[in-house]
Structure 1
Amino acid sequence: MSVATLGAVLWALGGIAWYVIRYPFERRARRTQVVLNRRSPVDMCGLGAAMLGMGLVPAIYVATGFPASADYPAGAFRVVLGAALFFAAVWLFRRTHKELGKNWSITLEIRDKHKLISGGPYSLVRHPMYTSFLMMAVGQALLLANWFVGLAGLAGFAALFFLRVDREERMMLDTFGTDYRDYMDRTKRIIPFVY
């Protein structure tokens, strides 16, 4: 098996793991009443961009090799580093879902009996799920030796993050007030101690 094929296989396995983690939370979320919904076209554009850049574009590349014109030589070190980063991201993605439990939602929503979660990975950053997406995007760029596919993942993450995070934090401030403000004062957004 070539290094490039190994990178593609590892990306696909990571994508399957991501879906296996997410699916039960999506099912459970449908059964929990929504008390505040701030879903918007902007929110949906961010989600669509992330799914395109971190899901559809790399899946097409892995399945077909398109666009091969943007390929570059795959390196074993990059694939190993990409796999470590991608699977650490999947682990963090699972932890964030477990911490959120019934509070989790794919869009900007507050659930019935919603609680402010500040333990586990949320003790280090306010948005560890976005941290996991950033790690996945960088891992994708390292695993799949194609400039277009690598940039698509990073662009998809950036669109999701910059279109949503400010609105999400406003919603949390409106819901939790000074408790969320205090939480913001002691944590960074997605990179511990940095940003």
Structure 2
Amino acid sequence: MSVGSVGEIVWVLGIVAWYVIRYPFERRAKRVRVVSDVRSRSEIIGLVSALFGLAILPGFYVATGIPGSADYAASAWAVALGTVIFALALWVFRRSHKELGRNWSITLEIREQHRLVSSGPYAFVRHPMYTSFLLMGLGQAFLLANWVAGLAGLIGFAVLFFLRVSKEERMMLENFGPQYRTYMERTKRIIPYIY
């Protein structure tokens, strides 16, 4: 088995694990009443971009090898690094869901009895779910030895992040007021101690 194939298998297993982590939270979230949502066209564009870049395009590449013209030689060190980064992404993803519990939603929503979560990964960054997507995109870039499929995750993440994060923070400020502003002052957005 080639190094490139190992990277592709690790990527597929990572995507399966991502879905296995998310599914029970998605089911539970449907049972909690939404009291406010700020969904918009730009949010849908961001979510579709992330799905396309982190799952659909690389999945198509892994299944078909297209676009093969963008392939480059895979290396064992890149696959090993990509595996570690993707595993870290899944750990942050799981921890973020666990901490949010009933507050979690895929779109920008405030749920009944919503509370401000500032424990676990939320003690370091305000948006660890985005941190996990950034890490997934980085992991994908190392796992898939293809300039298009490998980098698509980072591009999809960037579109989602820049279209959505400001709206999400505005929503949280409107809902939690000074409590959220204080939280913003002591945490970074997605990279602990940096940004």
Query: Shorter-chain TM-score category?
Result: over 0.9
Q: Percent identity?
A: 64
The answer for the alignment partner of 1:185 in structure 2 is 185
What is the rounded CA distance, in whole Å, between the counterparts of 1:2 and 1:72 in structure 2?
Answer: 13
* Letter matched to residue 175 of structure 1: N
The gaps in structure 1 that reach 5 residues or longer are: none
- For 1:97-117, what per-residue CA distance to the aligned partner results, in whole angstroms no more than 9, with x for missing partners? 000000000000000000000
Deviations 1:42-84 (A, max 9, x none): 1010000000000100100111111100000000000000000
Following the alignment from structure 1 to structure 2, what is the Cα–Cα distance between the partners of residues 112 and 66? 45
Residue by residue over 1:167-187, the C-alpha shift from the partner in whole angstroms, topping out at 9 and shown as x without a partner, is 000000000000000000000
1:45 equivalent to 2:45? Answer: yes
Residue 151 of structure 1 and its aligned partner are, at CA, apart by 2.0
Aligned length: 195
Alignment pair present for 1:86 and 2:86: yes
Partner of 1:171: 171
Which amino acid letter does the alignment assign opposite residue 118 of structure 2? S
1:74 matched to which residue of 2? 74
Q: CA deviation at 1:150?
A: 1.9
The residue aligned with 1:111 is 111
The letter of the residue matching 1:33 is R
* Cα-Cα RMSD: 0.5
Letter in 2 for 1:128: P
TM-score relative to the length of structure 1: 0.99
The list of structure 1 runs, each at least 4 consecutive aligned residues, that deviate by more than 6 angstroms after superposition, is none
Query: Normalising by the residue count of structure 2, what TM-score does the alignment of the two structures yield?
Result: 0.99
The equivalent residue for 2:25 is 25
Residue 91 of structure 1, CA deviation? 0.9
Q: Secondary structure at the match of 1:21?
A: helix
The aligned residue for residue 150 of structure 1 is 150
Deviations 1:97-146 (A, max 9, x none): 00000000000000000000000000000000100000000100000000
Structure 2 residues not aligned, in runs of 5+: none
Q: SS of the counterpart of 2:116?
A: coil
